[in-house]
Amino acid sequence: MKINLILAVLCSFPTLLAQTTAPVEAASHSALKAEPRGGGWMKRHESMNKYAAAKQYDILFIGDSITQGWEGSGKGVWEKHYADKNALNLGISGDRTEHVIWRLQNGNLKNQENAKLAIIMIGTNNTGHSRQNPKETAEGVAKIVSLVRKGSPKAKILLLGVFPRGQKPDDKLRQLNVDINKRIAKLHDGETVHYLNLDSIFLNDDGILTKEVMPDALHPREKGYNMWADAMAPKVKELGGL
């Protein structure tokens, strides 16, 4: 009897070991692999975590340098449109989707269960850094949307198309962003997630991105932030953010 019991335990051991050591599903590409950065990036991340933990915000802006730019070229526009709207800027210059994923998993959404609106615009650095496959970048954006839905379940999500870059329509990096936008537009469900493409407001009739709007063909100057805020305002109001 004892021998049979021992044999039974030994026979079941490989199965139990396989169950307890099953590999965790890994991210299939870099745009999905949560990744922190160092130096000043971590300092800003921790600062945003402190802001998030200290109070509940109604509006969350999530993105890269273009979003962080509300504190730079867009500061006056922010004061006009959002300073009294209980909004938090969660943008960090240079971020790609993988960096935002890490931030959202590590404190940026703490205490934000009751946020009303999250405005997301991310992906142009995946394009600029490595000309990443737009399919991969779009999957990174989709992961960010899912994390916001989990961390701020009451929030409507205003998902912005990645802004145009490059002076001319045939710019290769702009074309990659256009491809990303075609893909992330499919995340729109008209209930929680609302997609909004603002490309047309920044471009002239010939599709040129002028220096008056974005002097480096990537980052808006104050005029560009004004255009952005004005064009977005009706949708923000509709979704309860203003």
Q: Which of 12, 130, 189, 216 is catalytic?
A: 216
Q: Which of 65, 93, 171, 188 is catalytic?
A: 65
- 28 in catalytic set: no
Write out the two tokens for 88.
Answer: 């938090």
Q: Which of 45, 99, 194, 219 is catalytic?
A: 219
- 200 in catalytic set: no
Output the 3-class SS for the chain: CHHHHHHHHHHHHHHHHHHHCCCCCCCCCHHHCCCCCCCHHHHHHHHHHHHHHHCCCCEEEEECHHHHHHHCCCHHHHHHHCCCCCEEEEECCCCCHHHHHHHHHCCCCCCCCCCCEEEEECCHHHHHHHCCCHHHHHHHHHHHHHHHHHHCCCCEEEEECCCCCCCCCCCHHHHHHHHHHHHHHHHCCCCCEEEECCHHHHECCCCCECCCCCCCCCCCCHHHHHHHHHHHHHHHHHCCCC
- 99 in catalytic set: no
Question: Which residues are marked as active site?
Answer: 65, 216, 219
